[in-house]
Amino acid sequence: MTLLSVAMLVALASAAYVVIRWPNYQCWGDTPLPTVSLLAILFTSGLDVGLIMFPLIDFETYAAGAEYSFASPLVVEFGFWGGIVWGFYVLTTLYFCAIEPRLKFFERPLVRWVHNLVVVATCAFTAYLFLAYLPSYVEGINPALTYFTVGSVIVVAVLSSTRLSVLRVLSVGSTAMFLLLIVIAWLASGVGVKGLVNQLSGLSAYVTHLDYFVSPLNDYHGFYLSWWFAWSIMIGQFVARFVNGMRAWKLALAILFVPSIPIALWFSVLFGYFESGLAVGQGVNALMIGVGILFVVNSLDSLTRLYSQNLGWTVEALGFQKYVGLHVALLVGLVVLYQFTPLKIEWVGMVVIALYTAVYATLMMRRLRPSIDSA
């Protein structure tokens, strides 16, 4: 817990320092995209099915736990998913835009393999979560159909990762479907405009209790923060490829606030169901499952595209059939490992913290070397 707290503070402080120190640095990626596409890719790649499936379960946990009594379950859930935790992505996106092209730390053979093992493991964890929680959202689904559904999603994601044009359409489409889900779920809840506004206004308590979310409240919060760490480097590397010349301060604000707005709306709508004891209707539940599947496909597509390019396991290098066969087998194998072995996302998060430490050490060595050489 202490290591996680220190790592969290250092990462967020570093993000703030970089933006304040170089606010007007112009960030460019090697494949710049229009801002709408960039933000959609950020949102859908930086989140997964847990955003759809976790809140109603989490609200019950937070309402019953004494350690969460400082704020409402809605504020706690937002603190775990929105706001400052996106500062991880601010730091890593700016790093891959401005520093990595010169430092080339992630091109070192050992680092490259460790980093991409992290990407593959986190990618598979997204599919594993979908496998684990699907039975609780599809009443009566049998194990065979659960495995078939997850396997089909993996195949579709790997197929979609072969074309960048598919990613753009998928990201924008998934974002639009998520916004549609929010509207339909809100209308079905019957809370009305006033009720939704009241829920959203309650989120102001997040700002006054910000200090509670900077370090782990307990093991469950530690799980969430480890999860964010596991995602942070690879999402920064992926998103940095599509940045279109935005200045550092604008990019930071976009990463911090744009995804948090729909997250706040979605959680507020779901909290209305929780507070009123209203069950989610079959139609809304089916749409939740559909959007959750789109989010899984998005995440798997993005991460498969990232590690395959990093390792040279691309369609061009392997051929279409070998590419699809390799990546499907790799992801399915790791999903099975998550299910039947003690492998945890917390372990992956610790490896990422070690990579952060190595990057900081390398930067310090580069900064100190001239003075050492001249001594």
In a domain, 123, yes or no: yes
In a domain, 21, yes or no: no
Least confident of 46-55, 181-190, 193-202, 326-335: 46-55
pLDDT at residue number 121: 84
pLDDT at residue number 50: 79
Residue 353 · residue 3 · CB < 8 Å: yes
In a domain, 205, yes or no: yes
In a domain, 216, yes or no: yes
pLDDT at residue number 374: 41
pLDDT at residue number 280: 84
In a domain, 10, yes or no: no
When pLDDT is cut at 50, 70 and 90, the band that residue 1 belongs to is low
pLDDT at residue number 372: 41
Residue 373 above 50 pLDDT? Answer: no
pLDDT at residue number 173: 86
Residue 82 above 80 pLDDT? Answer: yes
What is the DSSP track for 355-372? Answer: HHHHHHHHHHHHHHHHHH
pLDDT at residue number 375: 39
Query: For the segment 291-335, what is each residue's pLDDT rounded down to a tens digit?
Result: 888 888 888 888 888 888 888 899 999 999 999 999 999 888 888
Q: Mean pLDDT over residues 353-374, rounded?
A: 76
pLDDT at residue number 228: 87
Query: For the segment 244-300, what is each residue's pLDDT rounded down to a tens digit?
Result: 999 999 999 999 998 899 999 999 999 989 988 888 888 888 898 888 888 888 888
Q: Mean pLDDT over residues 104-115, rounded?
A: 92
Instruction: Report the share of the chain in percent with pLDDT over 70.
Output: 97
pLDDT at residue number 371: 42
pLDDT at residue number 368: 60
Q: Mean pLDDT over residues 204-217, rounded?
A: 89
In a domain, 22, yes or no: no
pLDDT at residue number 26: 92
When pLDDT is cut at 50, 70 and 90, the band that residue 369 belongs to is low
Q: Mean pLDDT over residues 353-371, rounded?
A: 81
What is the DSSP track for 117-174? Answer: HHHHHHHHHHHHHHHHHHHHHSTT--HHHHHHHHHHHHHHHHHHTT-HHHHHHHHHHH
In a domain, 369, yes or no: no
Task: Calculate the average pLDDT of the chain.
Answer: 87
Domain that holds residue 345: 29-360
What's the number of domains the chain is made of? 1
pTM: 0.88
Q: Which among 58, 67, 196, 73 has a CA at the least distance from the CA of 136?
A: 58
Residue 345 above 70 pLDDT? Answer: yes
Q: Mean pLDDT over residues 129-145, rounded?
A: 83
Contacts of 305 (CB under 8 A, 6+ apart): 161, 164, 167, 238
In a domain, 374, yes or no: no
